[in-house]
């Protein structure tokens, strides 16, 4: 029987919505699914985990060393419970990307990254070349590590379960690791970019960071998250965690509004699975119009205020 271990991603307060999609992917591999939770404080996460109907067991590693994410610490825990499992899953968030290949390396497993479809228990689809191609790959390994592109999977149902919590001892073997110094996290009242229903993104066409704020009013009216192209982030119009694309975040909202974004393949890689795409750009030849359901060729400095007033 296939046994699957899912890495619970969280901020020590609430579970990341990405984990709900990873569990959904796990359900396609089998129904014996356990969770591994490394946290500095389980209390606020416990109630949420209790709602997850498809989880059997939760391996709990609770210690203040998990206040910040140090890959080495989490990988030691994964190794400690790895014996029983056939699959190890996490999302392809920056956490999953940081942690899972390290674990796979120590387990001598070749990881499969950014899985978008589970064909069967050994066959998976994943984008390559910035999504220009989709590869179907088959593993010959008995144990496998997958990171899941969460925009390709729904969220699991969370209407009540009865997972058993198993308290585990903290492994202490690894001492050669970095130390946390500080973080600067973006604080926002808006929905989270990767799980928002609507995303409004700005590109180089926004010209500067003051103009970039023109997106705020529209985002507020639509209850949307704000995203950015690489060009906009590189130019300092928006922080790095706004970046949508091959090297930033993948999003697939119901509505994606691309403003002043030309549509480089690296940007399209992160948003072309959106249900409806709107592009506003004054260059009617911009490649973004090739993927847009609705294109508006217009000067964004005229179109944006008008759009805001009409929403």
Partner 1 sequence: MKILIPIKRVNDYNVKVRPNQANTDVDLSNVKMAVNPFCEIALEEAIRLKEAGKATEIIAVSVGDEKNQEQLRTALALGADRAILVKTDESLQPLDVSKVLVKVFERELPNLVIMGKVGIDGDHNQTGQMFSALTNLPQITFASKVELNGDSIEVTREIDGGLETLSSNLPAVITTDLRLNEPRYASLPNIMKAKRKPLEEFTVEELGVEVKNTITTLKVESPPEREEGVKVDNVDDLVDKLKNEVKVI
Residues 108-167 within binding reach of partner 1 (CB under 8 A):
108-114, 123, 126-141
Could you give the 3-state DSSP secondary structure of residue 302?
helix
Q: Residue 31, class by beta-carbon neighbours within 10 Å (0-12 exposed, 13-18 middle, 19+ buried)?
A: exposed
CA separation for the pair 219, 215 (Å, rounded)? 6
Residue 220 interacts with partner 1 (CB under 8 A): yes or no: no
Q: Residue 48, class by beta-carbon neighbours within 10 Å (0-12 exposed, 13-18 middle, 19+ buried)?
A: middle
Q: How far is the CB of 197 from partner 1 (least distance, A)?
A: 8
Residue 303 interacts with partner 1 (CB under 8 A): yes or no: yes
Q: How far is the CB of 296 from partner 1 (least distance, A)?
A: 5
Residue 40 interacts with partner 1 (CB under 8 A): yes or no: no
| 35, 49 contact by CB (below 8 A) | yes
Residue 246 interacts with partner 1 (CB under 8 A): yes or no: yes
Q: How far is the CB of 65 from partner 1 (least distance, A)?
A: 14
Residues 18 to 37: which contact partner 1 by CB under 8 A? none
Residues 175 to 194: which contact partner 1 by CB under 8 A? 176-186, 194
Q: Residue 110, class by beta-carbon neighbours within 10 Å (0-12 exposed, 13-18 middle, 19+ buried)?
A: middle
Closest to partner 1 by CB, 160 vs 178, is: 178
Residue 216 interacts with partner 1 (CB under 8 A): yes or no: no
Residues 55 to 94: which contact partner 1 by CB under 8 A? 68-72, 75, 92-94
Residues 253 to 282: which contact partner 1 by CB under 8 A? 254-255, 265-266, 272, 275-278
β-bridge partners, 227:
201
CA separation for the pair 107, 244 (Å, rounded)? 32
């Amino acid at each position: 029987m296939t046994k699957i271990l899912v890495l619970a991603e969280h901020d020590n307060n609430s579970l990341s919505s990405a984990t709900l999609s990873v569990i959904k992917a796990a359900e396609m591999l089998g129904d014996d699914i356990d969770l591994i939770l490394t946290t500095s404080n389980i209390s606020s996460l416990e109630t949420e985990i209790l709602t997850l109907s498809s989880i059997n067991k939760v391996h709990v590693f609770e210690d203040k060393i998990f206040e910040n994410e140090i890959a080495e610490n989490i990988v030691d825990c994964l190794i400690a419970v790895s014996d029983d499992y056939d699959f190890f899953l996490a999302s392809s968030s920056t956490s999953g990307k940081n942690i899972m290949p390290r674990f796979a390396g120590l387990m001598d497993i070749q990881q499969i990254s950014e899985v978008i479809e589970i064909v069967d228990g050994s066959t998976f689809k994943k984008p390559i070349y910035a999504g220009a191609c989709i590869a179907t790959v088959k593993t010959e390994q008995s144990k496998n590590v997958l990171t899941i592109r969460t925009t390709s999977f729904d969220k699991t149902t969370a209407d009540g379960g009865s997972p058993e919590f198993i308290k585990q001892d903290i492994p202490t073997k690894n001492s050669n690791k970095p130390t946390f110094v500080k973080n600067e996290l973006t604080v926002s009242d808006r929905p989270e970019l990767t799980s928002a229903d609507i995303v409004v993104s700005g590109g180089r066409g926004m010209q500067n960071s003051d103009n970039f704020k023109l997106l705020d009013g529209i985002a507020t009216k639509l209850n949307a998250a704000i995203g950015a192209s690489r060009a906009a982030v590189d130019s300092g119009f928006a922080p790095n965690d706004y970046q949508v694309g091959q090297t930033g975040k993948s999003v697939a909202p119901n509505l994606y509004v691309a403003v002043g974004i030309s549509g480089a393949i690296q940007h399209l890689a992160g948003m072309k699975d959106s249900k409806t795409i709107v592009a506003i750009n004054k260059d009617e030849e911009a490649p973004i119009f090739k993927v847009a359901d609705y294109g508006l060729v217009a000067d964004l400095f005229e179109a944006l205020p008008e759009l805001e007033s009409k929403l």
